Amino acid sequence: MKRIVTVQDISCVGKCSLTVALPIISAMGVETAIIPTAVLSTHTMFSEFTCKDLTDQVEPITAHWKREKLDFDAIYTGYLASEEQIELLKKMFADFKTEKNLIVVDPAMADNGKLYPAFDEKFAKKMAELCGCADMILPNITEASFMTGIEYREKYDEAYVKEMLLALAKLGAKTVILTGVSFKEGTTGVMGYDSVTGEFHYYCHTKHAKSYHGTGDVFSSTFVGAMMNELNWKEAIKIAADYTAECIYVTMNDKDGCWYGVNFETAIPGLLKALDK
């Protein structure tokens, strides 16, 4: 069985970060170790939240794992709580990188043109450095804009997206995947760029009328799970984007669907069918 470690917060209520990554990646048949970066009462889109930072746990946990000679087929980071944590993760990447494993960074810090409440532009620049240490990165357009300095736009064309992908690749990752890319009303999708082959690839699907928090984490978790099931990045994009869209669809059609996150749970059987599991 493949084993990955995912490093992100626990939002106790909120259907994001670890409470999404753990069930999804585990359901995809992959052992999912975790490093919680912080414990929050809810995610930060609620009007208030508590937050216990766990930066001081990262080093002792990884030092113990080294003594146990543990290794990982992938390291996947999401929402991080501090610049100090980013520095610690750069060191962790160097310590746990092998010839075969995959380092995936989702720079979960912004959406809709704005940074999340806990972050500033200095944090975004630091996150760009972490992206430079990864094999694959999964930003949305807002995050890409903060990391590359390219102006954020709501309306754009293919040239803008390609310019952004090339600027992201310059940070250092081999494969860059931009989420939430929409060229036509009623559709949205994901565009990736492989800096080794020079290939761009766009996958597009129906855009549902509603959006929810945590869907970036659903996409990234599914993407990592699919990569660990031996899919290539283009196949992994499709599985992850289709599942994320289905999660939105089932939530919209649930009269009890809640605003703060999607019903990813009820869509898991369909995900496993798509994976042929």
The site for ligand PXL (CB under 6 A) is made up of 9, 11, 16-17, 40, 43-45, 78-79, 108, 116, 213-214, 216-217
Query: Nearest residue to ligand PXL, using CB?
Result: 44
153 CB contacts (<8 Å, ≥6 apart)? 141, 160
Q: Which is nearer to ligand PXL, 55 or 101 (CB)?
A: 55
Question: Side chain identity at 265, as an amino acid letter?
Answer: E
Q: Which is nearer to ligand PXL, 41 or 101 (CB)?
A: 41
d(CA 49, CA 9): 13
Q: Which is nearer to ligand PXL, 112 or 187 (CB)?
A: 112
Cβ-contact 224, 6 below 8 angstroms? yes
Q: Which is nearer to ligand PXL, 16 or 130 (CB)?
A: 16
Q: Which is nearer to ligand PXL, 40 or 191 (CB)?
A: 40
Q: Which of 23, 2, 18 is nearest to 268 (CA)?
A: 23
Q: Which of 63, 130, 48 is nearest to 138 (CA)?
A: 130
Q: Which is nearer to ligand PXL, 45 or 268 (CB)?
A: 45
Closest separation in Å from C-beta 8 to ligand PXL: 7
Measure Cα distances from 15 to 143, 265, 270 in Å: 20, 10, 19
Q: Which of 1, 21, 19 is nearest to 10 (CA)?
A: 19
271 CB contacts (<8 Å, ≥6 apart)? 24, 27, 28, 222, 239, 243, 246
Closest separation in Å from C-beta 230 to ligand PXL: 26
Closest separation in Å from C-beta 153 to ligand PXL: 22
Closest separation in Å from C-beta 145 to ligand PXL: 17
Burial class (CB in 10 A: 0-12, 13-18, 19+), 231: middle
Closest separation in Å from C-beta 16 to ligand PXL: 4
Closest separation in Å from C-beta 200 to ligand PXL: 26
Q: Which is nearer to ligand PXL, 141 or 275 (CB)?
A: 141
Cβ-contact 245, 206 below 8 angstroms? yes
Helices marked H in 149-199: 158-171
